[in-house]
């Protein structure tokens, strides 16, 4: 994300440098006038007619003066840009609000404004800028708004604002860019999972029991005094007897609950096409994977989990110079906690793209240096793990098989693009493979996770 | 029934209160008026550029009427929602209707719809117009034909411009159509269009572009895409209007000044021209008839040098450019045969029909061309050889005019050997009338030539016995004091040119210049059976007084352009005469012989062979100055000024009169119970608007009345009347009973008078001559808010 932002500003600076040189251009009218004027001028010189000469001179001079007018007095404005909301999920709508203030001592009239889009989003075509008074006068600022609704997640640089000024006669126009591009973060769509998720331990019933089993760090029961509203069956009779007042049991089992998501970012099963390039048939699959990760991750974080995300490729969520080997080979996984973690996760996922997988030699060296086992920090504990897989190579399968013993439960959401051989090996290793074909399947699959895990435990 | 009848009335009274839906305002025709008006301005300014070519100004008004009808009509059509493609057709219909009304002479159905008869009238007018354009010189008198051409042309330009600028939305291209009238003067007269007209046209062009940009923005703002994704702009307070003018003014004035500088500096390096130094092109080379061209050159206020020469001859020669020997239609024309390539100028045979017993003397003339640009070479008559010419030149076997197809006279320096002809009067008198076949054609005159020619010829030559005496008598008659040399009179009175029909008018008016005298004498000679033709060329010019230039040198300038008749005498050939009073040299063959005759022409000592040095010549020159116009012209101008001032004053009075009529109309309506207190209140509002008190839509009548009284203290009577009107209007609005105050009209008059009395003199004058309410209402009507107007002025 940061890298993209830097790239964006660099590009805009370059663009600004370029456009500062040739801001003014003739319109079609100006160009035609100039050409016709030149032709008439030649004729007039041949015929030596003063009238014709005057007409030709006017046709020639007018566009040139207009260009001069537009270039000599370019607009000077100050632009503040805000997005409402600043972060939106794909398919949502964000209002881009630009506050434009005239800094020049002359009113700004006859201008048009249009935002500079970046690839992937479309901004509306240039629109009329109403008359902006000179600085200090009432009406020296104007608020410009338009709505963007990006279809795809990503981080989009929006801006800078282009203000093109026309001369009063429509011969020439000059474009100036104002302000810096701002990043609009478009997160993947988040599917709200049913309430009975992994973490809903405050509820009663079997799931709570289950979760307590699932989470190894749960503390012993602590009794506390009864408060109105507590369920009667939660009364801890022994403690009540001990204290002489009604006590209820209270779980603080999730003092440090954790979960793990494995994100397939290399798509290594498919022939690599280079950095960031995804074979066409995997594009949808990858997007689905990111949406699944967002939905599951947000759900878990909301439930209070500390979530760590392991990427199979070089880490994009926690970028760094040494984070190039993949999460299973020593990269520090990104971790998110409640209170803001969900947002950080979504922002991170917004810009995740498929990465080239490390070369074979690098991988071999890495696995020799840092075996999967050693790479896993929580080797002694088993975390609930959700592996979201799109396309696996043999090596990936090996790694996941090794990982399986550190996972409880070990669940993979596989897509159709995962080959059967890989599925079988994963299943043998103890992974539950749940096939997800679209984001709509997630809810049923998630219910399956919950339902089926209950009986497993019981 | 009564209730049914009253209901619509009540409704009608109410509907104006609700402004019409906005959709109507932003409709198809909205904001077209400015474009139409600026187009009109452009067309009219460009038409005004034709001014130097035409006499008077009435033609401009006719053009203005036609252009307004077309352009404003097209706006109305658009307002009415006519499809885009149909508007040009409708414009054409309007143009035809206007032309039928103005020129149809009542032949149209209802004066408007052209009938076959009208078509005939029109084609006649077109032909007549074309003819008078061809015959007249500038400034031409505007005949009906020319007027028709002008009006029709203006209408066509307006239609085309409307089509391009509004229908196709290419105003810059549309404006190009207006170049036609703007550039015409440049091709006809040397000075071209008035510089002021050019600048005004440039300003109008820029105005059109500015208005187009403005209208485009307004249209775009109105049809802005809606929806959440559409860009919107919000602002706290919204300055209206097209924005500051300074930018437009700066760019426009820089443009015009730049164009002026460029176009005035440019001639500095094109002097001498890539093609020609005369903006009009070749002398006698343009489509205008040569005679007109000659008159034009003579009327030019400042003479330019044509050429200079030295001659070994005993007398200074006339220089012939071309000879008009045929009357085609009614015009003297030069029959120009294809150049015979064998007729090279290095050896030209002895003139046809020249007997050996006629005394001739060889003379050599060396000519250096200074300023003439022509395909005809100025050379003395009866040239026998010409040396030193560049390019291919040939002599015409009939008229002996020396001409070239491919080159012209610019920069030529050549020597002409010619024969001086010295016939005696006796030889001339005794020449027979057995004319050879080749000159029989020079006897023909159109059958419908005015009878006065022959009558005059017969009368003048009544006592003569020979052709020669008849010719001398005609020459004497034309040079007599009855005739006056005047280069302007024929143009002013519309008989310029040398056509046979013009001769009739000339013989009656007896004012004209060489063309008229020459053509008249030639025509009269033909009626008497003497072959004749008209030669165009230069007088011998003035002997140089400058020692540096050499004393033997003669300078010929453009005012020496001349026309003279030549008559054919058997055995001698073509003999020139000089019927123009005060110009040139009267040929001396008769002078030498007819000693007894009284010293010919009064004030024209032609017998002294000093070429063109007669005192009259100076007088002529001064008469050539344009400023010295006749007294009658002055009087006409004064009348015109008075008329225009009166017209202007009348125009000034129009708004006031309209406002007064509106008030009287309202009073009449109130009095006839057609309208009630609301109309009276409207009148009160409009009156206060005229007096500079703004009327707010949001104000109740009572609030307005209170403000009115607070602003300008009314006298008690008026205040009471205002109160009564107020009560009446409140009652009409809020009370169901339809009782109406009988005194409403009087009260209204009282209030209006009171308001006027309370205002200062300046405000009252403004209210009288420029009533604001009228303009507001007019603007509302033009913007299509007529219905909303009565309540919200």
Can you give the CATH number for the domain in which A98 is found?
A: 2.60.40.10
Distances (CA, A) of B437 to A413, A444, B185, B434, B565: 120, 122, 44, 9, 20
**Residue at A40 is within a domain:** no
Q: Do B233 and A129 touch (CB under 8 A)?
A: yes
Per-residue pLDDT averaged across B445-458, rounded? 84
Q: Do B243 and A110 touch (CB under 8 A)?
A: yes
- Domain end residue (candidates: B230, B264, B298): B264
Question: Per the structure, how many domains does chain A have?
Answer: 3
Query: What pLDDT digit, counting tens, does each position of A329-342 carry?
Result: 767 778 888 778 88
Torsion of CA A337, A339, A343, A346, to 10 degrees: 30
Q: Do B267 and A124 touch (CB under 8 A)?
A: no
Query: What pLDDT digit, counting tens, does each position of B345-388 carry?
Result: 778 888 777 777 888 888 888 888 887 777 778 888 888 888 88
- The angle that helices A50-72 and B195-222 make with each other, rounded to 10 degrees, is 40
- The angle that helices B144-162 and B179-188 make with each other, rounded to 10 degrees, is 140
Contacting residues for A197 by C-beta, under 8 A, at least 6 apart:
A299, A300, A303, A446, A450
Query: How many CB pairs below 8 Å do chains A and B form together?
Result: 177
Cβ A328 vs Cβ A357: under 8 Å: no
Residue with tokens 């013993």: A405
Residues of A in contact with B262 (CB under 8 A): 53, 57, 60-61
**Residue at A225 is within a domain:** yes
Per-residue pLDDT averaged across B308-323, rounded? 82
List the beta strands (DSSP E) in A276-428. 306-311, 334-336, 383-389, 407-414
Distance CA B447, CA B440 (A): 16
Q: Give chain A's largest Cα–Cα span.
A: 121
**Residue at B722 is within a domain:** yes
Query: What pLDDT digit, counting tens, does each position of A242-275 carry?
Result: 888 888 876 554 456 778 888 888 776 655 555 5
Q: Do A113 and B238 touch (CB under 8 A)?
A: no
- With residue B23 as reference, give the H or E element that holds it: helix B22-25
Residue B504 token pair: 């009739």
Contacting residues for B653 by C-beta, under 8 A, at least 6 apart:
B769
Distance CA B559, CA A349 (A): 95
Distance CA B542, CA B538 (A): 11
Interface confidence, given as ipTM, is 0.70
Same domain, A406 and A445: yes
CA of B224 vs chain A CAs: smallest distance (Å): 8
Q: Do A47 and B234 touch (CB under 8 A)?
A: no
Q: Do A46 and B275 touch (CB under 8 A)?
A: yes
Same domain, A135 and A236: no
Residues of A in contact with B217 (CB under 8 A): 110, 128
- Mutation site, A55, A67, A88, interface B, largest B CB count within 10 A: A55
Query: What pLDDT digit, counting tens, does each position of A10-24 carry?
Result: 556 655 555 554 567
Q: Do A61 and B228 touch (CB under 8 A)?
A: no
Exposed / middle / buried, residue A106 (Cβ in 10 Å: 0-12, 13-18, 19+): middle
Same domain, A291 and A380: yes
> Parallel, antiparallel, or unpaired for β A77-84 and A94-102?
antiparallel
Identify the band that residue B158 occupies on the pLDDT scale cut at 50, 70 and 90: very high
- Mutation site, B235, B252, B253, B268, interface A, largest A CB count within 10 A: B235
Residue B450 token pair: 């005015």
Q: Give me the pLDDT at residue A314, please.
A: 76
Distance CA B324, CA B387 (A): 25
Query: What pLDDT digit, counting tens, does each position of B261-297 carry?
Result: 887 776 544 443 333 333 333 444 433 355 656 666 6
Identify the band that residue A200 occupies on the pLDDT scale cut at 50, 70 and 90: very low
Query: What pLDDT digit, counting tens, does each position of A85-103 carry?
Result: 888 888 888 888 888 888 8
Residue A147 token pair: 């709505």
Q: What percent of chain B has pLDDT over 90?
A: 2
Categorise residue A40: left if φ over 0, alpha if ψ from -120 to 50, beta otherwise: alpha
Q: Do A51 and B186 touch (CB under 8 A)?
A: yes
Residue A123 token pair: 């901004």
Q: Give me the pLDDT at residue B156, please.
A: 92
**Residue at A141 is within a domain:** yes
Distance CA A46, CA B514 (A): 34
The 10 Å Cβ neighbour count of residue B83 is 10
Residues of A in contact with B255 (CB under 8 A): 58, 61-62, 65
pLDDT at residue A452 is higher than 70? no
Distance CA B291, CA B503 (A): 13
Same domain, A226 and A167: no
Residues of B in contact with A145 (CB under 8 A): 231-234
The pTM of this model reads: 0.54
Residue B757 token pair: 């009395």
Residue B265 token pair: 């500096």
Residue of A nearest to B192 (CA): A51
**Residue at B615 is within a domain:** no
Identify the band that residue A1 occupies on the pLDDT scale cut at 50, 70 and 90: very low
- Mutation site, A42, A44, A58, A101, interface B, largest B CB count within 10 A: A58
Q: Give me the pLDDT at residue B41, please.
A: 92
Same domain, A156 and A285: no
- Domain end residue (candidates: A187, A208, A241): A187
Q: Who has greater pLDDT, A49 or B280?
A: A49
Query: What pLDDT digit, counting tens, does each position of B24-52 carry?
Result: 333 444 447 888 889 999 999 888 888 87
Query: What pLDDT digit, counting tens, does each position of A290-314 carry?
Result: 888 888 888 888 877 888 888 887 7
> Parallel, antiparallel, or unpaired for β A306-311 and A258-263?
parallel
CA of B284 vs chain A CAs: smallest distance (Å): 17
Range of the domain at A131: 2-23+74-187
Identify the band that residue B549 occupies on the pLDDT scale cut at 50, 70 and 90: low
Over chain A, what is the mean pLDDT?
Answer: 76
CATH number (domain holding residue A351): 3.40.50.410
Of A427, A37, A218, nearest to B176 by C-alpha is A37
**Residue at A48 is within a domain:** no
Nearest-by-Cβ selection for A49 from B172, B264, B279: B279
Q: How far out from the chain centre does Cα A221 lie?
A: 41
Residue B655 token pair: 């708004």
Q: Who has greater pLDDT, A455 or B587?
A: B587
Same domain, A10 and A99: yes
Q: Who has greater pLDDT, B242 or B79?
A: B79
- With residue A40 as reference, give the H or E element that holds it: helix A28-47
Q: What is the three-class DSSP state of A384?
A: strand
Of B131, B132, B122, B61, nearest to B97 by C-alpha is B122
The 10 Å Cβ neighbour count of residue B337 is 10
Residue of A nearest to B281 (CA): A47
Query: What pLDDT digit, counting tens, does each position of B416-430 carry?
Result: 888 888 888 888 888
Q: Do A52 and B183 touch (CB under 8 A)?
A: yes
Q: What percent of chain B has pLDDT over 70?
A: 77
Question: Per the structure, how many domains does chain B have?
Answer: 2
**Residue at B388 is within a domain:** no
**Residue at A301 is within a domain:** yes
Same domain, A161 and A276: no
**Residue at B269 is within a domain:** no
> Parallel, antiparallel, or unpaired for β A407-414 and A383-389?
parallel
CA of B230 vs chain A CAs: smallest distance (Å): 6
**Residue at A126 is within a domain:** yes
**Residue at A53 is within a domain:** no
Same domain, A236 and A285: no
Q: What is the three-class DSSP state of B544?
A: coil
Identify the band that residue A375 occupies on the pLDDT scale cut at 50, 70 and 90: low
Exposed / middle / buried, residue B21 (Cβ in 10 Å: 0-12, 13-18, 19+): exposed
Residue of B nearest to A29 (CA): B172
Residue B401 token pair: 């005019």
- Domain end residue (candidates: A252, A274, A293): A252
Range of the domain at B56: 23-222+248-264
Exposed / middle / buried, residue B734 (Cβ in 10 Å: 0-12, 13-18, 19+): exposed
Per-residue pLDDT averaged across B175-188, rounded? 82
Q: Do A58 and B202 touch (CB under 8 A)?
A: yes
CA of B195 vs chain A CAs: smallest distance (Å): 8
- Mutation site, B51, B187, B233, interface A, largest A CB count within 10 A: B233
Of A137, A127, A108, A109, nearest to B236 by C-alpha is A137
Contacting residues for B742 by C-beta, under 8 A, at least 6 apart:
none
Distance CA B696, CA B681 (A): 13
Radius of gyration of chain A (CA): 31
Residue of B nearest to A132 (CA): B239
- Mutation site, A51, A124, A127, A162, interface B, largest B CB count within 10 A: A51
- Mutation site, B259, B268, B281, interface A, largest A CB count within 10 A: B259
- Domain end residue (candidates: B264, B297, B323): B264
Q: Do B247 and A131 touch (CB under 8 A)?
A: no
Residue of B nearest to A94 (CA): B229
**Least trusted range by pLDDT, from A8-12, A173-177, A190-194, B411-415:** A8-12
Distance CA B587, CA B699 (A): 95
Distance CA A97, CA B772 (A): 42
Same domain, A244 and A272: no
Distance CA B601, CA A236 (A): 154
Same domain, A180 and A230: no
CA of B262 vs chain A CAs: smallest distance (Å): 6
Q: Give me the pLDDT at residue A219, please.
A: 44
Q: What is the three-class DSSP state of B81?
A: coil
> Parallel, antiparallel, or unpaired for β B511-512 and B402-403?
unpaired
Radius of gyration of chain B (CA): 37
Residue ranges of alpha helices (H) inside B600-676 are 615-624, 631-671
**Residue at B572 is within a domain:** no
DSSP string, B480-502: STTSEE-SSHHHHHT--S--HHH
Handedness of CA A415, A420, A426, A430 (dihedral sign): positive
Q: Who has greater pLDDT, B27 or B456?
A: B456
Residues of A in contact with B273 (CB under 8 A): 48
Residue A154 has, within 13 A of its CA and on its CB side, a CA count of: 16
Residue with tokens 């009269």: B524
Phi and psi at B789, nearest 5°, equal -65, -45
Residue B107 has, within 13 A of its CA and on its CB side, a CA count of: 15
Q: Of A254-258, A434-438, B485-489, B620-624, which has the strongest mean pLDDT?
A: A434-438
Torsion of CA A151, A153, A155, A160, to 10 degrees: 10
Of A453, A366, A361, A352, nearest to A411 by C-alpha is A453
- Domain end residue (candidates: B264, B296, B315): B264
Distance CA B72, CA B94 (A): 10
Residues constituting chain B = 793
CA of B747 vs chain A CAs: smallest distance (Å): 45
Residue A456 token pair: 């497993």
Q: Do A131 and B233 touch (CB under 8 A)?
A: no
Q: Looking at the DSSP assignment, which residues form a beta bridge with residue A94?
A: A148
Q: Give me the pLDDT at residue A258, please.
A: 79
Residue B308 token pair: 């200079």
Cβ A107 vs Cβ A132: under 8 Å: yes
Of A271, A344, A277, nearest to A306 by C-alpha is A344
Exposed / middle / buried, residue A352 (Cβ in 10 Å: 0-12, 13-18, 19+): buried
**Residue at A203 is within a domain:** no
The 10 Å Cβ neighbour count of residue B501 is 17
Residue with tokens 């009866």: B382
Same domain, A399 and A422: yes
Residue A122 token pair: 């479309």
Same domain, A300 and A438: yes
**Residue at B89 is within a domain:** yes
């Amino acid at each position: 994300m940061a890298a993209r932002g830097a790239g964006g500003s660099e590009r805009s600076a370059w663009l600004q440098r370029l456009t500062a040189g040739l801001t003014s251009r003739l319109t079609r009218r100006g160009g035609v006038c100039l050409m016709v004027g030149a032709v008439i001028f030649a004729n007039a010189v041949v015929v030596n007619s003063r009238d014709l000469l005057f007409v030709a001179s006017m046709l020639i001079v007018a566009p040139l003066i207009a260009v001069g007018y537009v270039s000599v007095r370019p607009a000077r404005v100050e632009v503040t840009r805000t997005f409402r909301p600043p972060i939106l999920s794909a398919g949502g709508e964000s209002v881009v609000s630009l506050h434009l203030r005239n800094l020049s001592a002359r009113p700004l009239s006859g201008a048009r404004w249009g935002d500079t889009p970046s690839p992937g989003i479309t901004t509306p075509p240039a629109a009329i800028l109403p008359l902006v008074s000179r600085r200090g006068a009432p009406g020296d600022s104007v608020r410009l708004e338009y709505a963007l609704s990006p279809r795809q997640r990503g981080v989009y640089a929006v801006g800078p604002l282009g203000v093109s000024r026309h001369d009063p006669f429509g011969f020439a126009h000059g474009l100036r860019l104002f302000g810096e591009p701002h990043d609009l973060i478009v997160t993947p769509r988040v599917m709200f999972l049913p309430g009975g998720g992994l973490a809903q331990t405050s509820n009663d019933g079997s799931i709570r029991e289950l979760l307590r089993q699932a989470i190894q760090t749960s503390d012993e029961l602590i009794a506390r005094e009864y408060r109105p509203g507590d369920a009667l069956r939660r009364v801890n009779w022994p403690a009540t007897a001990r204290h002489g007042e009604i006590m209820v049991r209270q779980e603080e089992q999730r003092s440090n609950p954790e979960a793990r998501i494995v994100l397939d970012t290399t798509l290594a099963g498919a022939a690599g096409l280079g950095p960031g390039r995804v074979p066409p048939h995997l594009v949808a699959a990858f997007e689905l994977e990111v949406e699944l990760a967002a939905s599951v991750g947000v759900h878990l974080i909301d439930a209070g989990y500390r979530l760590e995300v392991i990427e199979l490729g070089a880490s994009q969520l926690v970028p760094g110079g040494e984070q190039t080997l993949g999460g299973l080979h020593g990269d520090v996984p990104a971790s998110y906690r409640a209170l803001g973690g969900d947002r950080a996760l979504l922002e991170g996922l917004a810009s995740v793209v498929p990465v080239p997988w490390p070369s074979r030699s690098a991988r071999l060296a890495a696995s020799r240096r840092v075996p999967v086992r050693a790479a896993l920090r929580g080797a002694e504990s088993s975390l609930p793990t959700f592996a979201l897989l799109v396309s696996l190579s043999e090596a990936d399968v090996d790694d996941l098989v090794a990982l399986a013993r550190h996972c409880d439960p070990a669940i993979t959401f596989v897509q159709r693009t995962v080959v059967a051989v890989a599925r079988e090996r994963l299943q043998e290793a103890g992974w539950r493979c749940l096939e997800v074909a679209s984001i709509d399947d997630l809810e049923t699959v998630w219910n399956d996770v919950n339902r089926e895990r209950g009986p497993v435990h019981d | 029934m009564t209730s049914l009848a009253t209901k619509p009335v009540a409704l009608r009274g109410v509907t104006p209160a609700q402004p019409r839906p906005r959709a109507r305002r932003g409709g198809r025709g909205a904001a077209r008026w400015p474009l139409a008006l600026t187009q009109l301005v452009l067309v009219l300014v460009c038409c005004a550029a034709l001014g130097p070519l035409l006499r008077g100004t009435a033609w401009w008004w006719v053009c203005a009427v036609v252009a307004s009808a077309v352009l404003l009509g097209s706006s109305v059509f658009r307002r009415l929602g006519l499809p885009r493609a149909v508007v040009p057709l409708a414009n054409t219909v309007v143009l035809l209707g206007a032309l039928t009304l103005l020129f149809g002479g009542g032949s149209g159905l209802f004066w408007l719809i052209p009938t076959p008869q009208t078509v005939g009238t029109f084609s006649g007018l077109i032909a007549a117009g074309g003819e008078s354009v061809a015959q007249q010189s500038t400034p031409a008198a505007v005949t009906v034909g020319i007027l028709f051409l002008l009006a029709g042309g203006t209408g066509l330009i307006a239609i085309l411009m409307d089509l391009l600028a509004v229908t196709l939305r290419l105003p810059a291209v549309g404006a190009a159509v207006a170049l036609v009238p703007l550039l015409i003067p440049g091709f006809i007269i040397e000075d071209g269009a008035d510089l002021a007209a050019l600048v005004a046209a440039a300003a109008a062009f820029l105005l059109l572009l500015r208005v187009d940009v403005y209208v485009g923005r307004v249209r775009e703002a109105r049809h802005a895409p809606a929806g959440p994704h559409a860009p919107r702009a919000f602002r706290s307070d919204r300055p209206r209007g097209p924005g500051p003018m300074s930018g437009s003014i700066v760019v426009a004035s820089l443009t015009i000044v730049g164009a002026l500088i460029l176009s005035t500096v440019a001639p500095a390096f094109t002097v001498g021209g890539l093609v020609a130094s005369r903006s009009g092109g070749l002398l006698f080379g343009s489509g205008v008839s040569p005679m007109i061209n000659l008159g034009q050159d003579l009327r030019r206020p400042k003479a330019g040098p044509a050429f200079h020469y030295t001659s070994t001859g005993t007398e200074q020669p006339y220089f012939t450019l071309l000879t008009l020997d045929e009357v085609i239609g009614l015009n003297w024309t030069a029959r120009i045969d294809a150049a015979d390539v064998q007729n090279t100028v290095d050896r030209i045979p002895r003139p046809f029909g020249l007997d050996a017993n006629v005394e001739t003397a060889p003379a050599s003339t060396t000519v250096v061309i200074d300023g003439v640009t022509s395909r005809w070479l100025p050379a003395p008559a009866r040239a026998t050889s010409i040396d030193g010419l560049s390019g291919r030149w040939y002599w015409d076997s009939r008229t002996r005019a020396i001409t070239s197809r491919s080159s012209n006279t610019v920069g030529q320096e050549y020597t002409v050997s010619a024969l001086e002809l010295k016939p005696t009067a006796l030889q001339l008198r005794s020449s027979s009338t057995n004319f050879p076949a080749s000159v029989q054609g020079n006897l023909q005159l159109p059958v419908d030539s005015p009878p006065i020619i022959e009558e005059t010829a017969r009368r003048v030559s009544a006592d003569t016995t020979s052709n020669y005496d008849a010719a001398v008598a005609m020459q004497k008659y034309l040079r007599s004091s009855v005739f006056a040399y005047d280069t302007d009179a024929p143009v002013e009175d519309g008989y310029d040119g040398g056509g046979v029909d013009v001769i009739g008018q000339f013989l009656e008016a007896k004012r004209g210049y060489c063309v008229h005298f020459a053509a008249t004498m030639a025509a009269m000679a033909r009626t008497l059976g003497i072959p004749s033709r008209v030669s165009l060329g230069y007088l011998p010019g003035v002997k140089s007084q400058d020692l540096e230039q050499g004393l033997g040198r003669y300078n010929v300038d453009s005012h020496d352009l001349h026309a003279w008749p030549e008559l054919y005498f058997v055995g001698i050939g073509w003999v020139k005469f000089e019927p123009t009073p005060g110009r040139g040299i009267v040929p001396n063959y008769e002078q030498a012989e007819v000693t007894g005759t009284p010293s010919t022409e009064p004030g024209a000592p032609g017998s002294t062979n000093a070429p063109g040095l007669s005192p009259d010549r100076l007088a002529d020159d001064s008469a050539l100055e344009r400023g010295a116009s006749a007294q009658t012209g002055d009087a006409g101008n004064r009348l015109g000024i008075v008329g225009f001032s009166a017209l202007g004053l009348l125009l000034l009075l129009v708004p006031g009169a309209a406002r007064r009529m509106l008030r009287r109309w309202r009073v009449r309506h109130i009095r006839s119970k057609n309208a009630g207190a609301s109309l009276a209140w409207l009148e009160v509002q409009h009156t206060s608007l005229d007096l500079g008190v703004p009327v707010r839509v949001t104000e109740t009548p009572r609030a307005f009345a209170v403000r009115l009284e607070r602003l300008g203290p009314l006298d008690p009577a008026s205040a009471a009347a205002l109160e009564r009107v107020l009560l009446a209007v409140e009652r009409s609005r809020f009370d169901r009973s339809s009782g109406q105050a009988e005194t409403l009209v009087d009260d209204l008059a009282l209030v209006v008078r009171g308001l006027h009395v309370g205002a200062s003199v300046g405000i009252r004058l403004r209210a009288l001559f420029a009533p604001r309410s009228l303009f507001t209402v007019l603007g509302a009507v033009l913007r299509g808010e007529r219905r909303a107007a009565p309540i919200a002025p």
